[in-house]
Amino acid sequence: MTIDQQKLDTLVGRLIGEISAGYGGVMVGLGDRLGLYKAMAGAGPVSSQEVARRSGCAERYVREWLNSQVAGGYIDYHAASRTYELTPEQATVLADELSPVFLPHAWQIVASMWADEAKTLAAFRTGEGVSWGEHDERLFCGIAAFYRNAYSASLVKDWLPMLSGVTDKLEKGATVADIGCGHGHSTVLLAKAFPESRFWGFDTHEGSIEIARRVALAAGVEDRVSFEIEKADSYARRGYDLVCFFDCLHDMGRPVEAVRYAANAMADDGTLMLIEPFAGDRVEENINPIGRLYYAGSTTMCCAHAISEKGTHVLGAQAGPGQLEAILTSAGLGTVRRAGETPFNLIIEARR
């Protein structure tokens, strides 16, 4: 076997970059939890002593952390004054928790994947599944925070208007089911935007439902939102005007049954809204950083949960529009339309 030295050097360099990024993720998590980024936001150039004072942390640790951030390109360094600066762009990504591109919480998902390594190794060797509730707690918080901001930026303003007549119904007063609601951020966003409508969130994970109820209470929408522990094929049928699956159908072992149940739970003129990770139908269409991210998460979470349900499908997070549309039509929905897409999501509308 002949080794191409240039190819070898390129691959090693890429892996070193990946290892560096992994270390960097730990630093981002520390900066977020310790309030270091927030201490710098809007402050202009500041010394390590000032960052330490503002955050209530020890200066020597802060100085080393700051240097790691400079080396990673997350913070600017001014050599003449030996000061550090978080630019407005950097603050949008690292300090503003309401920003649609706020990303530190995503590293909690990575931390949970490492914490669950033994379960994943066992799953690979046995072919058994790992259900959602078996994962490290950081997964639930990381997923909820990661999607919350994306939904806040796009759900009401961009995605709902892509669906035929749905916004008008919600403004007048409609009934809505959010299947696999998790911490309830999507349900609460809808409830805040459409006070005349009534919302139900369903999830099998008890801990998530408890948090969802607190989220609704904090948002002041508990009078029109209910969260219940239910499976995707057992919740109360109320003639829903809108049934939503937000980034969860591909996790289900029986997606056709879940969609068929939803179709029967909808009003005659109801709409099913399916939000799924963006993907092409073929592997070669997904060779990019987002595809890599989704395939990796799918390996340890999405496929693992679907397998644990011992059902009919293991779609994975990169199922692609072809498979998703086939699921919807197999479940008896007569009209299926790809309403829109973003670099991260597919938006699909379906009706009877």
With cut-offs at 50, 70 and 90, classify the pLDDT of residue 280: very high
Region 160-171 average pLDDT: 97
All domains in the chain, ordered by first residue? 5-94 (1.10.10.10), 106-351 (3.40.50.150)
What pLDDT shows up at residue 1? 84
What pLDDT shows up at residue 277? 96
Q: How many CB atoms lie within 10 A of CB 238?
A: 14
- In the predicted model, is pLDDT for residue 146 greater than 90? no
Chain segment 58-102, per-residue pLDDT in tens: 999 999 999 999 999 999 999 999 999 999 999 999 999 989 899
What pLDDT shows up at residue 39? 98
Q: How does the average pLDDT of the chain come out, rounded?
A: 96
User: Who's near 158: CB < 8 A, 6+ residues apart?
Assistant: 340
Chain segment 214-273, per-residue pLDDT in tens: 999 999 999 999 999 999 999 999 999 999 999 999 999 999 999 999 999 999 999 999
What pLDDT shows up at residue 29? 96
Q: Please state the pTM of the whole predicted model.
A: 0.91
What pLDDT shows up at residue 235? 97
Region 40-62 average pLDDT: 98
Region 277-287 average pLDDT: 97
Chain segment 231-242, per-residue pLDDT in tens: 999 999 999 999
Chain segment 286-315, per-residue pLDDT in tens: 999 999 999 999 999 999 999 999 999 999
